[in-house]
Amino acid sequence: MHAFIANNVVPTVPVDQRVRRWLDLADQGAPFKFLHEVAETEDEISVIESDKNGNRIALILHIESKPRLMIQGIQLVPAFRLEGVSPELGKWTDLNSLAKKLLAKTHSPGIGIAVMQSGTTRVAVAGVRKINTSDAVQANDVWSIGSIGKSICSTVIGRLIEQGKLRWEETLKQAMPDIPMSDGYERVTLEQVMHHRGGIPADLGFTRPEVQRIIGKTTVPLAIRDAYVRDILSRKPSAGPDSRFIYSNAGYALLSHIAELTAQKPYEALVRELVFKPLGLTHSFTGIDALPKARPSGHFESAKSLKVGDMSGPMEYMFAGAGGGMFMSVGDLAKFGQFHLNGLRGQNGMLMATTINRLHRGTPEQPGGGQLYACGWGIQSLPGIQEFHGHNGSNGTMRAELAIFPGADLVVVGIVNRGGEDEPAPGMQAVLALASRYASSK
């Protein structure tokens, strides 16, 4: 494999690093079985295949043909990104019937869906808050939104930029002059971090001992983040500034700490002051808030069954900027999406439309094209529906999806109270079902 990569792959990263990535992809699903080709262009070859579990996967090979044929990168993504909306998802009569359909189809305990279009909001819920109970999900229940919180963090940064307290091009060294950091981080800008292009380590998983090593005995959220930021910045960067896309929870932890150092207020207080309160989000909570006692419980998969799961703990504070500890109703999350959609459509509000548009200015995740990522927003084009900006999120026991369609003045939210790796996720299935009806590209 080393020799093949050295001779046939564009040398944008070291060969050993590329080998590790390809082996990781193989571990996830090999052996793969070819099903059919989707498309072939000068820049890309895409095929549909099945993995070792029988899941349909799209393999996208990014290539360059001059001066000779070379591979730029490989992506494995859910097949629906190339195949589009399943006809089955179009078979529903109203929002309540769609909620019930997806509840049964995805074997979720409970589901919440919200739709906003042209100023009108509709919410539908189905199922129960907790397995083996009759405690029905309610319209204003709050759910974990996971990494959708990254778009909230970038909104906070945007507000501080408009207030003149931060700058897009401000470097990590300028923003945190008193915190020691490896030389490779000093010239990384806030905007690069928001784009996941600052070379910040991914930090997508931790064991309890690792967390304890980083934070010690402190229980204060701001102090926990300070300890974590110092740990991140003591390590070597995973890449140079703006050299490649690395989806990083750690990057948004840095941003949340920069925000609180700049404003001299805990990050959670800033979220409430700069986002929740001005948008009238009365069913939204941060990690330091007392959550409603009556709310959906999360569930994780265990030996093909569901068990109630509680993901609370210090990691919610460590990763507050990445969405840790954030709970919102589907209606509130839709309002947040509508605020961004308004900006994309040229309307000034809590943020100027120019700021909103910069937060949504995407760059390709892979060399040669593919999905774009902006500042806490992925920008996707799928067959049969209009381009949309969105993000998913999961704390392991819930899965959430937010999507906004500027061309259709449409916002869709879908959340279930179960974890898992099925694709498309239940929330994305809600997005696809609603988009096929209200944001069709045909």
Domain boundary among 83, 99, 126: 83
More confident: 191 or 368: 191
Residue 160 lies inside a defined structural domain of this protein = no
62, 46 contact by CB (below 8 A): no
Residue 369 pLDDT greater than 80, yes or no: no
**pLDDT tens-digit readout, 300-326:** 987 778 999 988 889 999 999 999 999
**pLDDT tens-digit readout, 227-250:** 999 999 999 999 999 999 999 999
Q: Which letter, b or e, does each residue of 55-90 get, where b requires 16 or more Cβ atoms within 10 Å of its Cβ?
A: eebbbbbbbeeeeeeebbbebeebbbbbeebeeebe
Residue 368 pLDDT greater than 70, yes or no: no
pLDDT, residue 84, reads 78
**pLDDT tens-digit readout, 344-365:** 999 999 999 999 999 999 998 8
How large is the average pLDDT for residues 96-114?
96
* Pick from 58-62, 209-213, 275-279: least confident: 58-62
Considering 36-45, 181-190, 378-387, the range whose residues carry the highest mean pLDDT is 181-190
Question: 101 and 190 in one domain?
Answer: no
pLDDT tier for residue 430 given thresholds of 50, 70 and 90: very high
Residue 163 lies inside a defined structural domain of this protein = no
Question: 244 and 307 in one domain?
Answer: no
Grouping H, G, I as helix, E, B as strand and the rest as coil, residue 326 is coil
pLDDT, residue 16, reads 86
CATH number of the CATH domain containing 301: 3.40.710.10
Question: 103 and 78 in one domain?
Answer: no
Question: 364 and 403 in one domain?
Answer: yes
Question: 432 and 283 in one domain?
Answer: yes
Residue 156 lies inside a defined structural domain of this protein = no
pLDDT tier for residue 54 given thresholds of 50, 70 and 90: confident
Question: 299 and 283 in one domain?
Answer: yes
Residue 53 pLDDT greater than 90, yes or no: no
* Pick from 46-50, 123-127, 160-164, 324-328: least confident: 46-50
More confident: 178 or 29: 178
**Residue corresponding to tokens 């974590």:** 228
Percent of the chain with pLDDT over 90: 72
Residue 155 lies inside a defined structural domain of this protein = no
* Domains of the chain: total: 3
Question: 220 and 97 in one domain?
Answer: no
Show the domain range for 206: 168-269
pLDDT, residue 96, reads 97
In sequence order, the 6+-apart residues with CB closer than 8 A to the CB of 146 are 323, 326, 392, 393, 394, 395, 398, 399, 400
Residue 21 pLDDT greater than 80, yes or no: no
Question: 304 and 414 in one domain?
Answer: yes
Q: Quick one: which of 160, 328, 387 has its CA closest to 255?
A: 160
Residue 67 lies inside a defined structural domain of this protein = yes
CATH number of the CATH domain containing 173: 1.20.58
Domain boundary among 225, 244, 269: 269
Residue 162 lies inside a defined structural domain of this protein = no
Residue 28 pLDDT greater than 90, yes or no: no
Percentages helix, strand, coil for the chain, rounded to the nearest 5? 35, 25, 40
Domain boundary among 269, 298, 332: 269
**pLDDT tens-digit readout, 109-136:** 999 999 999 889 999 999 999 999 999 9
Residue 187 pLDDT greater than 90, yes or no: yes
Q: Give the number of other CB atoms < 10 A from CB of residue 173.
A: 15
Q: Which helix (H) or strand (E) holds 127?
A: strand 120-127
Residue 416 pLDDT greater than 80, yes or no: yes
Give the whole-angstrom CA distance, residue 105 versus residue 318: 35
pLDDT, residue 118, reads 86
Question: 48 and 13 in one domain?
Answer: yes
DSSP 74-106: EEEEETHHHH---GGGG--SSHHHHHHHHHHHH
330, 126 contact by CB (below 8 A): no
Residue 159 lies inside a defined structural domain of this protein = no
pLDDT, residue 161, reads 98
Q: Give the number of other CB atoms < 10 A from CB of residue 243.
A: 15
Question: 204 and 341 in one domain?
Answer: no
Question: What average pLDDT does the structure give for the chain?
Answer: 93
Question: 309 and 265 in one domain?
Answer: no
Question: 434 and 299 in one domain?
Answer: yes
pLDDT, residue 60, reads 86
Phi-psi region of 280 (alpha: psi -120 to 50; beta: other; left: phi over 0): left
